[in-house]
Structure 1
């Protein structure tokens, strides 16, 4: 498993910090929108191990089996993140970290990250590469954790593509530039409740008058909010399930280490059914 080494850290907004990494394999790093990285954060006193990466491993899971075999007290925390940008000339990638109010291991690490710090990396794997479906217009909706993926999609869209985007953030200070050649109708949604508790994103999408034509929707962010927006699109807007790509990036009051809830399991079944 390749290691990532921090080369630079700088704040993007009061709640988002961007960390630039270098490491083996980033010189010929194939890119696409919404690239998912598995990052391994070391436990105190235990450096990130160099896990095996067997090229003959068809499904790329040898590293995970080796990871699970590490005693729990020493096993790094595993979290999923999106590549924000790639710098092939310097063999570097940027990853944005949202600094949550109730910090887990990733937020704690990001708050003190400095050049020379090291994380483990798995991916991005082309096995998980997905493209947006064909449509008359695109709907992109999510919270601040989805901004890197939304930015990647927007940057890749050609001129003339009709896109409506709703991005939920704490307030104006959390808004970020999003460059695109597409015909973008961007709405920043300012929440009035703690992240994961309110309905600001759902309310904004529900109140909107959508463009004409058949949409394709891409939704990501807090799992409960994503499910609510998806259900609205299906039940109230008549959007076909197969025309919605949705992912719960995080769960209010839960971490990736916690077992899946009944809603999480139902979401997984629906994702498999629509893939």
Structure 2
């Protein structure tokens, strides 16, 4: 057996629901889910989807339980038949019963030319549909980034719809009264969600893509030692980080940033170039 903190899980859809016009929540079940760890609030997992006409995704043989070389083994499979890999955030890991909840950002309530394989799958997913998930079996693992230092006085969070599930998780876990400033980009105000938190949170919803840097630039931020968590479209993430570090003078070690996607580039493009694993 491998000492890898991750495992491949075979799961099936239990139910789906539109929580906003641009977000579909899919709840999965599976016999091995009791082994999956919840991990951090922005815990990343890999979801492998079947191609049209397949009942389940074609995956490497991990009968021995060894997932240490899963990526090389997956790459060695024929791209036209192997499971379609996408990265998502665990929205919730439920217990009793064990259920994995994942929110899929889509381009509005109706099919769109912008739909990729994951969006198309989520729109048509029905109970019983099978996928594979690479998820953590150790609570402490390298696939999450939200790690505020002990001396943090206040938080800054930014996201678009791709990172909104992570922001929702983070806000749910914050201690009461912690000053928190949040900016979220959505396509339409109808895509806003309730974001429960006990923190002292100010949440700003933006409807123009890439508007976050300017919005933060004009904001009055709290005093004290900050920790910033920035995720979403790559160019916007970089612009926010430049502003916080270069213009606001925030210690770069206190800024966690992650480009969840890149405008004009598909996930498959990044995989082919070796930038996504």
Residue pairs, 1:85-124, within 5 angstroms: 85-100=92-107, 101=112, 102-124=114-136
Higher-helix-fraction structure: 1
- Whether contact under 8 Å (1:42, 1:48) holds in the other structure is yes
- Give the secondary-structure state (helix, strand or coil) at the position aligned to 2:78: coil
- Whether contact under 8 Å (1:48, 1:118) holds in the other structure is yes
Deviations 1:25-72 (A, max 9, x none): 322432231111100111123431353447785xx4322222112112
- Whether contact under 8 Å (1:163, 1:183) holds in the other structure is yes
Deviations 1:165-209 (A, max 9, x none): 111112221110111111111111222xxxxxx431111111111
Residue 195 of structure 2 corresponds to residue 178 of structure 1: yes
Q: What does residue 256 of structure 1 align with?
A: 267
Distance across 2 between alignment mates of 1:56 and 1:110: 28
| Residue 49 (structure 1) aligned to one of 48, 53, 58 | 58
Residue pairs, 1:59-98, within 5 angstroms: 60-98=67-105
| Residue 242 (structure 2) aligned to one of 218, 231, 234 | 231
| Residue 19 (structure 1) aligned to one of 17, 21, 26 | 26
* Residues matched between the structures, number: 257
Summarize the Cα distance change of 1:5–1:75 in structure 2 as closer, same or farther, 3 Å threshold. same
Cα displacement (A) at 1:3? 1.2
Distance across 1 between alignment mates of 2:250 and 2:60: 43
- Whether contact under 8 Å (2:45, 2:143) holds in the other structure is no
Mind listing any 5+ residue stretches in structure 1 that lack a counterpart?
192-197, 269-275
Q: What does residue 149 of structure 1 align with?
A: 166
Moved over 6 A (4+): none
- Whether contact under 8 Å (1:14, 1:173) holds in the other structure is yes
Distance across 1 between alignment mates of 2:118 and 2:270: 18
Cα displacement (A) at 1:80? 0.3
CA RMSD of aligned residues (A): 2.3
- Whether contact under 8 Å (2:9, 2:135) holds in the other structure is no
Q: What does residue 38 of structure 1 align with?
A: 46
Summarize the Cα distance change of 1:189–1:179 in structure 2 as closer, same or farther, 3 Å threshold. same
More deviation, 87-96/38-47: 38-47
Distance across 1 between alignment mates of 2:160 and 2:101: 19
- Give the secondary-structure state (helix, strand or coil) at the position aligned to 1:49: coil
TM-score by length of 2: 0.85
TM-score by length of 1: 0.86
Summarize the Cα distance change of 1:209–1:260 in structure 2 as closer, same or farther, 3 Å threshold. farther
Cα displacement (A) at 1:241? 1.2
Deviations 1:115-145 (A, max 9, x none): 1111111013623244223311100001111
- Whether contact under 8 Å (1:147, 1:167) holds in the other structure is yes
- Give the secondary-structure state (helix, strand or coil) at the position aligned to 1:123: strand
More deviation, 129-138/237-246: 129-138
